[in-house]
Amino acid sequence: MSVKPTNIRYRILFLIFVNVVINYMDRSNLAVAASEIDKEFKLTPVQLGLVFSAFSWTYLAFQIPGGILVNRFSPRILYTFSLIAWSLATIIQGFAKGFTTLFGLRMATGAFEAPAFPINNRVVSNWFPDNERASAIAVYTSGQFLGLAFLMPVLSMIQLEVGWKGLFVVTGLIGIIWGVIWYLFYRDPFMHKGVNAAELQHIESGGGMLDKQQAEKRTAFRWTDLKAVLSYRKLWGIYIGQFAVNATLWFFLTWFPKYLVDYRGLDFIKSGYWASVPYLAAFTGILCSGFLSDYLVKKGVSVAKARKRPIIIGLLLSVFILGANYVNAPGLIIFFMSLSFFGIGFASITWIFVSTLAPKHLINLTGGVFNFVGQLAGIIVPIAIGFLASGGNFAPALVFVAMLGLLGACSYLFLVGNVERIKTGEDE
């Protein structure tokens, strides 16, 4: 009689999901507080754009080093350190005295958050077989949307009660507590007491990497490896696509609440509730995309069609953000914003291509470069919007975001090509 596999991997997925919720809570709390900070510090739109982008300067700079660290340290240890460190930086933001200190503290937050998504990718690659991986990525990535959909009104109410300074303290404390919980409950597959041999066999036979395999292949960083992951056209296709996905995402993480309040005239509390609707749309989009993609693969549809089509369709839908330029009713504004963000959710299984296309021994480094290029949007987009909106007209900023979505769709259409793993001599 065969032993039924355990399902410990789903518990691990829940832990990652919460990590992502907290990760994006601490990225977006500044967006909620922006109008009040703007009034207190008397920031110009360009200065506010710089503060919004500060997180991404260091998050970007530490992506490749973060990918190297992920290959050297256990997710249990590295994620615990990362969570607690960025949460402490968040708390200290509540004591900022002006533009310079706030800018510096946002840079510290970005530096400590840098390893998070490469760790997520490593954990899912270890714990999930190939035919479950898109769904797993969709579930944990949905944390950034579902969490913010419910957190936007909550964060607005917290700020109303304790002020913008208290908002940073509360959100930081939540992260510290969860960092301890992660350390207590996460284990790698071969170290987890609850997982049985049947589940390990299910993961390994389905193409799951298993951390034991990764440990056997860990080597010192080599510059030739970095050159390799920058040499393939199909990898550049997913890098540019990630930049495009993040372009719209960073609009919603930074300028969107302020856009509703200061450029569309909604009051602060109502803007929190309105702002939650596009996040729910994005959450719906990513779950539809992930589960549909895995379903198509199981039904025999080619990987190229099952994985690429949702991303291309989603990026094309993101262009509908332009519709907000031509309507004035709040409901219609939110409709176009939600349709655009649904598209970004639908396109957000992009991480599947890191583990699907990259050479096996370079998955972590590829993930670091992938996130590095994608995170350029976190620098460029907030600053560009600040300049484009500095005259009081936000319409050019939305045109800019929409065109980047179109660029991303083209990158998947014309650069990625056949969906098959890149093989090198070291993977033979």
Secondary structure (DSSP) of 348-392 = TTTTHHHHHHS-GGGHHHHHHHHHHHHHHHHHHHHHHHHHHTTTS
pLDDT greater than 50 at residue 216: no
Given this model, what pLDDT does residue 271 score?
A: 61
Mean pLDDT across 160-170: 91
Mean pLDDT across 45-51: 88
Say if CB 65 and CB 57 are below 8 A apart.
no
pLDDT greater than 90 at residue 34: no
Which CATH architecture group holds 8-213+228-418? Up-down Bundle (1.20)
Say if CB 131 and CB 301 are below 8 A apart.
no
Question: Which pair of structure tokens corresponds to residue 193?
Answer: 């007491």
Say if CB 26 and CB 171 are below 8 A apart.
yes
**C-alpha to C-alpha distance for 398 and 394, rounded to whole angstroms:** 7
Say if CB 261 and CB 267 are below 8 A apart.
yes
Helix, strand, coil fractions of the chain, as percent rounded to 5: 80, 0, 20
Given this model, what pLDDT does residue 78 score?
A: 94
In the chain, pLDDT over 70 holds for what percent of residues?
92
**C-alpha to C-alpha distance for 57 and 61, rounded to whole angstroms:** 6
Say if CB 257 and CB 31 are below 8 A apart.
yes
Using left for φ > 0, alpha for ψ between -120 and 50, and beta otherwise, residue 96 falls in beta
Residue 33 burial (CB count, 10 A): 25
pLDDT in tens, 238-258: 999 999 999 998 898 888 888
Helix axes 233-254 and 330-346, enclosed angle (nearest 10):
150
Which pTM was predicted?
0.74
Buried residues in 129-165 as b, exposed as e (16+ CB within 10 A): bbebbbbbbbbbbbbbbbbbbebbbebbebbeeeebb
The rounded mean pLDDT for the chain is: 84
Question: Which pair of structure tokens corresponds to residue 175?
Answer: 């992260």
Helices and strands in the chain, H and E counts = 18, 0
350-355-358-362 Cα dihedral, nearest 10 degrees: 120
**C-alpha to C-alpha distance for 265 and 279, rounded to whole angstroms:** 20
Given this model, what pLDDT does residue 215 score?
A: 43
Helix axes 130-185 and 116-127, enclosed angle (nearest 10):
120
Helices (H), 99-210: 99-113, 116-127, 130-185, 197-205
pLDDT band of residue 326 (cuts 50, 70, 90) is very high
Q: Domain map of the chain by residue range?
A: 8-213+228-418
Q: Which is nearest to 248 in space by CA: 384, 45, 107?
A: 384
Highest mean pLDDT among 6-20, 277-291, 349-363: 6-20
Angle at 60 between CA 80 and CA 11, to 5 degrees: 35
pLDDT band of residue 213 (cuts 50, 70, 90) is very low
Say if CB 316 and CB 343 are below 8 A apart.
yes
CA 151 to chain centre: 16
Helices (H), 218-324: 223-229, 233-254, 256-258, 268-298, 303-318
Given this model, what pLDDT does residue 219 score?
A: 54
CA 208 to chain centre: 22
